[in-house]
Structure 1
Amino acid sequence: MRKITYILLLITFFAQGQILNPVKWKSKVVQKSATEFELVMEATIENEWHMYSQYTPDGGALPTVFDFKNAKGNYTLVGKTKESAYKKVFNDIFEVDEYYFAKTAQFKQVIKVTNTKLKEVKVYVEYQACKEQCIQQDNTFTFQLPEIKITDDKAVSTAAIASDSTTQKVDSISAVQSSNASENKAQKSNEAPVEEKKGLWSIFFLAFIGGFAALLTPCVFPMIPMTVSFFTKQSKTKAEGKKNAILYGVSIILIYVILGSLVTGIFGADSLNALSTNVWFNLIFFGLLVFFAASFLGAFEIVLPNSWANKVDQQADRGGFVGILFMALALAIVSFSCTGPIVGTLLVEAASKGGLAPIVGMLGFSSALALPFMLFAMFPGWMNTLPKSGGWLNTVKVSLGFLELALAFKFLSNADLVVQAHLLEREVFLGIWIAIFGTWAVYLFGKLTLPHDSPMSHLSIGRLFMAIFVTIFTIYLIPGLWGAPLKIISGFPPPMTYSESPNGIGTSSSNTTIAIDLPEHAHSGPHGIIAFHDYEDGVAYAKKVGKPILLDFTGHACVNCRKMEDFVWSKPEILSLLKDKVVLISLYVDDKRELPKEAQYVSKETGKEIVTIGNKWSDYQITRYKNNAQPYYVILNSDGEDISKPIGYTPDATEYKKWLDEGISKFKK
């Protein structure tokens, strides 16, 4: 009977708590030269679990972070830590793109040893893995290096001069360069995930639309009939005219693709992606886009030096393909005041994606720009269908200015989110967009004129429809000030949690508790629930009011924690229990704030250093419940003793309410 009881207790224990370890690591050292070594860390990830890239944007899941434990003078890092291809998916809970790895991930860092007596290198990694629950994990790698001898004033490692090959443990030297080459080739062949290809296609089509918009500006549109007329009159035969028109279009595409290649080449494919979350990158391009917008709105014109256009125009007289190429370059220079801001914006947006995105973006833009020139030269009769130039071209240009201005604040918002300054919270961002789009609507209705507008006696049907569309969009934005999700523009404004009123004041009666006085050490949690971030403070309050405790192990970057709060806790029948029947204590295991030095310690359970507040609560969860996943919920009595079986992610609201009711009823007994 005792054996049966013991077995049942074991089953109950493992049902309630389990230390999850979905990511398994192995590592090795690859020698690059006598003093250069490549540290390789490979992760094998369990099915349905994900871990995140070093470059996943702020505001979502936690990125993977490497800390090289390097005493001064031992070695230097050569470049940044490279990683294998990640997948990119938009997270509609955090409203940001997330970059993650599934099944496998590989990280490589080259080091140059400066201390020839160095025997080992330690690397510490922190990362987040998520499935239905999220866990914060870390790992320490110890890389064993060969002895480096000094021979003829040159450093030579013992591994490099050894004639035999010895079997190493996981942290080993790979001495077979051909094996590495084939491994790298195989790795590269798999570095194009479907999501990345989809991202490049979306950039291409957005850039194509941008090229079409540039075509409808006063700098470009009037040049179509002039250019087509040149080819049809100067060519001896129709066939020659068509050939020259095609060469002209190809030249336009070539010029802009070379521009995209230069951007990628100068900055590097990897560094462009890293820049996208850099505060200075976002601030600089905010200013740049405001500058472009002011130009489109008529404050000034961005023009390249006339001498450039004159010199290029002289070369265009040479004839042949070279002459046509210079004609295309002349178009790019002359039309720069209209195309420059669009090209600049597209390059900024493409640069934030990294990789080949700038090249693909310029291919899409130039294709849209070149196609009409080629088609109308090949079929001159179509020219009769073109609308005449007029004031509508400046209307297009001004409209692009309003769009540029609105997009600029996305970059300012990114910078604000990175530093968590809370200067451009969701309400402020939406207020700015409402003002921009509202002013645009007034302009389209003809109630506002700008410097280069022509006198207007009536509204065209196209302009009227556009004015109505922009007005509808402006009205759509307004409820966002009171907490509406605004899914159409999801990803542009800051997330709902990054606002003065995270729960949307005035959207429901359930938020009325936001305005009441909070107990000492408490704060207003999700949906206005009174919550505590410190365990001792929460227990003391629970004793005072005589209520049970809902212990919530959660994380700022835990997507399923947010899902529970947004879709389960928000149910009226559950929200009333959380507000009136329990004391909520939310312990954030990814809180990066450091503990006071005297409060830091080494965990008896895991042997790890507990340095941050998040470390403390994660260790508490592991030590007490033998579980390291979030979300994780337990109901305690007011003395801090468990009175319910813990549960994790429970998207079924009925099941979650049943669990709450059982715990609360046990407390009453």
Structure 2
Amino acid sequence: MKIKYLLLLIIGIFFFLSINLYGKDVKHVRFTAQPSKLEVKNGEKFSVLLTMKLDKHWHSYSLNEQIGSEGIGPSTTEITAGPKNVIVIAGKIKAPKPKIEYDSGFEMKVEMYYSKAEFEIILKAKNDINFNKDKAFINVNLELCDTASCLPSDDYRVTIGNQIYTPTVGLIEEADTSEIAKTDVDSSSSLRITSNETIKKSRVDATESQKEIESKKGGGILSFLWLAITAGALALLTPCVFPMVPITVSFFAKRAETTRGKGLRDALVYAFGIIITFTSLGFLFSVLFGASGIQDFAKSPGVYLFVAGIFLLFTFNLFGAYEIQMPAGLMNKLNTKSMQGKGVGSVILMGLTFSLASFSCTGPLVGAALIAASTGEWFHPIISMIAFSATLALPFFFLALFPSALSRLPKAGGWMNNMKVVLGFIVLATSLYFINNALLQWGGGLSREVFLSIWIAIFVMTTLYILGVFKLKLDSAIETIGSVRLIFALSFASITFYLVGGLFGMNLGELEAYVPLSEKPLIAASVADAASGTKTAETGVWLENYEKALVVAKAENKPIFIDFTGRTCTNCKKMEKNMFPKQNINSLLSKMVKVKLLTDVNEEPYISNKNFQLEKFNSVALPLYVILTPDGKVISTETYTRDEKKFIAFLNKAFKK
């Protein structure tokens, strides 16, 4: 397959995934909706804060009908609520003051909203509602325009989340007055979003990492670059990049057979491919889809399956499956032209795969760069992502060179093929991790027992293969089992027995970041659950709602510990399985009200959790840990770390007067 066709295939796949993932985000507007209370009785009135954010240079029109002398005018923005058997609009809509500008097309002054507008909507419940579990929505019909053209009016259905806000004083009492009330607040300003009147949206609490980043910016470009390089080096120690080690070695081991003398070229293309795709994808997705755009994309089921598909393709290529006569088709063409050819198309594809796998866990520096890019800044985000990704790519440059060097050794035939097959088994095990992540994002996922059983079967087969119990098509017969082969066989047998221990509850250490939890997390969903003592196996009661955590914290006068985490976040699982259960850390956590907020699922309440993290802490990094006072004031923040003493010092800040 020629490079241009391979690149067209990649572009087509990403276009399809982008359209399915983002839908209406391409129409340059985003919405959130927060209720004034989480539980509403039948017949009770309450309010919802609808926040509309528009891309730069785009605007919509006000809720007032605007008709010019010719009998025409812009489309009126209309707000409704539903389902009608659950909620109905029961009073005025408190709208921000629009900007008034002359429109030459309509030959009149028109009312417009730019950048951001917030509407308070009075609603009446038709049934008892609990927004932690019941679904209701606000529907917005509006027309979007930029400086050159307009998009047709369209409907945007916004699910009401479970992060409450404090309504304007007297709003509910005035619910029977005029239908639309304008305020003197400019459309770019913010109403207060609070949690039991303790957290204000207008106040953003910078995390410790953000304070360090801003300090380095002020120290000059060299200081900032060194921070980015250091962050890249630390990222190499996180579980997120480990799956790319076997796939890198195995891929270039296979290429070394047909591209002799091209090892340095391929390694350089691979490294620069990582840098270019990591920087360009991160920057572009942040500009187009917001700070969490590339994270949402990288964690979508389609991308996980895309990466898993590439891993499986390489696996069977390493097994020699494509040497068998097969019907002409895409897989065969990819094998003959891309995987075994002398071009660099497949190397660029590998760099892209690496970037997507890396973005699934975003650290503080990259998270800050993505947020800055989404607000229009370009210089610091681009140079930080270039320096970060270059540091990340450096060891993989040498890993890409390694197979080429091995192929030059004398008699590199039989044992080299054995090594590629063993790597193929490792890549096969790695692909299961990405497949399971896709299933988790769809609300399913393999159980720990099934996942580990598959891994055990793979490593049993690897051990038997090394011992020569069976061979594949391209293998030569094994006459004797030498000491080196025996050592490898014993190593994989040991891994197998180690995994068997995980079936019976043993902690698997570093591997815990990749395998499913032993059971569905037992998370207390309410204060009643907390009082009854619902606990996880290792670290006690965890609430899943911030508002409930505030209630418990105030009642018990305890600090709050928030764990912003994700279903597929490997760094998060590593912390939760290997750091939290440690005796000293668990002892400190037990003295706090703990709340776990998932942010990587594209449905409520997880979307509201993500928005809460972004708007309150100006961060999209996972994991993010926050300690608050019982009334919701920030004490300190922390991210992923391997340093137990550092994490204990962070937790101790909750108890310092």
The verdict on a shared fold, with TM-score over 0.5 as the criterion, is no
TM-score (norm: length of structure 1): 0.42
Which one has a bigger Cα radius of gyration? 1
TM-score by length of 2: 0.43
